[in-house]
Chain A
Amino acid sequence: GAVVSQHPSRVICKSGTSVKIECRSLDFQATTMFWYRQFPKKSLMLMATSNEGSKATYEQGVEKDKFLINHASLTLSTLTVTSAHPEDSSFYICSARVMGRQNTEAFFGQGTRLTVV
């Protein structure tokens, strides 16, 4: 399957600072990437859909000014958690769709554990 790389895998930051998480498709081009948040022992919650060259589409209840998404190229999307607070601590996961395939799967990165202290 296609490989999606997410970086960093773990990050600890101080309250009030911003953190950037990168999601890269290593061996394919992805016009669309997705950002999820996952709480312990819970399912994945879609935060936003990132489209290359255009603004991200955010799910209801997700603050776009808090979670900045940039999809600058066909292989890279970034999620920046701005002015992080302890309640932003969570597991963030990205996924990417393979461009140009009609029947296609979404491949996931390995996730980023964010801890805000």
Chain B
Amino acid sequence: GQQLNQSPQSMFIQEGEDVSMNCTSSSIFNTWLWYKQEPGEGPVLLIALYKAGELTSNGRLTAQFGITRKDSFLNISASIPSDVGIYFCAGASGGSNYKLTFGKGTLLTVNP
């Protein structure tokens, strides 16, 4: 099956620092999604990417859909304590079922 490698597994940073995380896949995806999950909650969609090469921003978050369609990165600028959580990438190949394949997540800790 499809595999998603997400890195880093965890990050400990100081407030104000920038953060970067990425996902790579063994196969092509048509859609890349980035989610944030806080303890005891479901994932919340941050950014959706639909075209190879697409670069999209949402406030302090920026994500890109890799040209090869096998990778994506998420950047968070000027981190704040409320950025703490687990960030998941997810890819979809399309089709009627639209199943998502999730990365294993990046645990972000921001020290004030």
Distance (whole angstroms) from the CB of B10 to the closest CB of chain A: 10
Is there contact, CB below 8 Å, between B88 and A110? no
Query: A43-B104, A44-B88, A106-B33 known; A93 and B98 CB under 8 Å?
Result: no
How many chain A residues touch B (Cβ–Cβ < 8 Å)? 26
Task: List 11 additional A-B contacts (Cβ < 8 Å) besides A34-B99, A43-B103, A103-B50.
Answer: A32-B97, A41-B107, A42-B104, A46-B100, A49-B97, A49-B99, A91-B40, A93-B43, A103-B31, A108-B44, A111-B42
Range of interface residues on chain B?
A: 20 to 34
| Cα separation A111 to B37 with both chains bound (whole Å) | 11
Chain A interface helix/strand/loop/mixed: strand
- Residues of A whose CB lies within 8 Å of any CB of B are 1, 4, 6, 32, 34, 41-44, 46, 49, 57, 91, 93, 95, 97, 103-111, 113
Produce 1/0 per residue, B74-107, CB < 8 A to A: 0000000000000010100000111110111101
Is there contact, CB below 8 Å, between A109 and B100? no
| Cα separation A36 to B90 with both chains bound (whole Å) | 13
In the complex, the number of residue pairs spanning A and B with C-beta atoms less than 8 Å apart equals 55
Query: What are 19 A-B contacts with C-beta separation under 8 Å?
Result: A32-B97, A42-B104, A42-B105, A43-B103, A43-B104, A44-B88, A46-B99, A57-B97, A93-B42, A93-B43, A95-B100, A97-B98, A103-B48, A105-B45, A106-B90, A106-B100, A109-B42, A111-B41, A113-B40
CB-based nearest B residue for A104: B98
Most chain A CB inside 10 Å of its own CB: which residue of B41, B50, B88? B41
